[in-house]
Amino acid sequence: MDNKMIEVNEAYYKQIEKDSHMLECLDACGLPNLPIWDKAKAMYNEESDEELDGYDDAKDVGYDY
């Protein structure tokens, strides 16, 4: 991981924090265990330069949310 510093305006930063918190809530409620997760992950990977990683590891070991 590169530790490159960037600057963003405050509104953008607050939106990132809000979105991140929402993703944490979805994760805590077990979203990665629902069938729609695979469809959403595939959509993200198709539209993004980077593949989504991390959540599958928790699913594979049966992590209980």
Residues 44-60 pLDDT 10s: 889 887 776 655 544 54
Residue at 27 is within a domain:
no
Residue at 7 is within a domain:
no
Give the integer Cα–Cα distance in Å for 15 and 25.
15
What residues contact 27, with CB distance under 8 A and at least 6 apart?
55, 65
Residue at 39 is within a domain:
yes
Residue at 50 is within a domain:
yes
Whether the pLDDT of residue 64 is over 80: the answer is no
Residue at 22 is within a domain:
no
Question: What domain range includes position 49?
Answer: 33-65
Residue at 44 is within a domain:
yes
Question: Based on the structure, what is the number of domains in the chain?
Answer: 1
Residue at 37 is within a domain:
yes
pTM here? 0.54
